Chain A
Amino acid sequence: MKYTEEHEWLRVEGDLVVVGITEHAAEQLGDVVFVELPELETQVAKGDEVCVIESVKAASDILAPCDGEIVAVNEALPDTPGLVNEDPTGDAWFFKMKLDDMSVLDGFMSEDEYKDFIA
């Protein structure tokens, strides 16, 4: 698993990358009450706002971690946004991307580096 400074995790699944938010991010957000997912088959650039999460506290964005195409979204989230708090690194994945260049993953933090980052 790789981690971004925006508190997203990236998991390689074949030639795709699955994206979600970290447990730390979910805790900071508080209870999530609304999730808006990106449209399928859209080309996104690193840093694009692709999802909206609203918690009991505030709204925040999920940014595209890399350049690529959105090829799958987690249809369960809009109906059960609470999944983000229950299982942020498992069932509550947000979307899957086909990256333009898989080698960019090397530039992200490892689990240990992320732990130091949030410490």
Chain B
Amino acid sequence: MTEHSLNHTPLHALHLELGAKMVPFAGYAMPVQYPMGVMGEHLHTRAHAGLFDVSHMGQVILRGDGAAAALERLVPVDVQGLAEGRQRYAMFTDEGGGILDDLMVANRGDHLFAVVNAACKEADIAHMRAHLEGVAVETVTDRALIALQGPQAEAALATLVPGVAGMRFMDVATHDWEGAELWVSRSGYTGEDGFEISVPEDRAEAFAHALLAREEVAPIGLGARDSLRLEAGLCLYGNDITPDTTPVEAALAWAIQKVRRRGGAREGGFPGAEVILRQLDEGAPRRRVGLRPEGRAPMRAGTVLFADENATEPLGSVTSGAYGPSIEAPMSMGYLPTAQATPGTRVFGEVRGKRHPARVVDLPFRPAGYRK
């Protein structure tokens, strides 16, 4: 894809002003890092607060009396039971039980608000329009989306928007900032406390500037976003979860509430329910795990995993892998047969033709700092 055909977010000029290195990502020109560098940005977010432009993600409003019930036909999640002012994690599934995308869905009173992945947004919107009869599926195209993450995120945001201090993890609310209507959720994808803020595009740069004026807030690129989410054990769609992985295999069963499981009041009724409900009861053949290489060499996505140094048949492979700046060690996630998916199991990853040992560990690699 050439530079010319890339979309720009409302914060594009700001990224350039801040000295970002821009890369193509899901059809957008996005900042991969700023002059601070990936490692510095990662550690800054964990210690202070990081500002991320996530405007490339899809923001979608679902309107209509039956919107929650309708959306339940596409996700294995309790949407009807989601209280006003609350958000939860969900995923679109296909007929085989695979994951088409993961998303956040919020109950904002007279409508549902969903945030979907950039690379999947057009397909997701088409999917919802095709299957949500009687529901208006509105794409929000005139708003930026800014994430502010880290232990000092609340203090920084509250200087501009005092009302956010009272929000709990996964609360959503509308707040005013100098006449601009902000749609705020207390959530994010870094394992830190923080917020995602939908802001009108014509005010986005001024709002970001106001946050960046605070000493504790630094701009953070996609590079650090990836190492932060991996340390937090969170899945990257397209790597760790795909149409070839079910929510149960992906260790996302926690996102499927009882009411949608066998024996629940609204059991099944979503694509792939037969496979997913069976796996919930009987287990899945393989499972997403955390892996800690015993040496220093990172085992990156695609690294093939074996039971021992001589095995000829692979057990599975790594789907995300990098160096974790906060844990100061390499870390990976991947899929292993359920029998080998127990923490403590030793497997071998083949890196540059040599097999190196790694241990299966519990996720996340680093405990989350959510404000429950």
Contacts and interface: CB of A to CB of B under 8 A. Distances in A.
B37 A54 contact: no
Interface residues of B, number: 16
Contacts of B317: none
A69 interface: no
Interface in A34-76: 34, 36, 52, 54, 56-57, 59
A78 interface: yes
Interface centre among A30, A34, A52, A56 (most CB of B within 10 A): A56
A31 interface: yes
Where chain B touches its partner, the secondary structure class is mixed
Contact of A30 (B37, B296, B330, B352): B37
Contacts, number: 41
B33 A54 contact: no
Interface in B306-332: 322-323, 325, 330
Interface centre among B37, B227, B323 (most CB of A within 10 A): B323
B38 interface: yes
Contact of A31 (B37, B296, B298): B37
Contacts of B296: 33-34, 78, 81
Contacts of B300: 59
Contacts of B37: 30-31, 56
Nearest to B329: A33
B33 A30 contact: yes
B180 interface: no
Contacts of A34: 296-298, 323, 330
Contacts of A54: 297-298, 323
Given A31-B325, A56-B39, 13 more contacts: A30-B39, A31-B40, A33-B296, A33-B323, A33-B330, A34-B323, A34-B330, A52-B352, A54-B298, A56-B38, A56-B323, A56-B325, A59-B300
14 contacts: A30-B37, A31-B39, A33-B296, A33-B298, A33-B330, A34-B297, A34-B323, A52-B297, A54-B323, A56-B37, A56-B223, A56-B322, A56-B323, A57-B38
Interface of B: 33, 37-40, 223, 227, 296-298, 300, 322-323, 325, 330, 352
Interface of A: 30-31, 33-34, 36, 52, 54, 56-57, 59, 78, 81
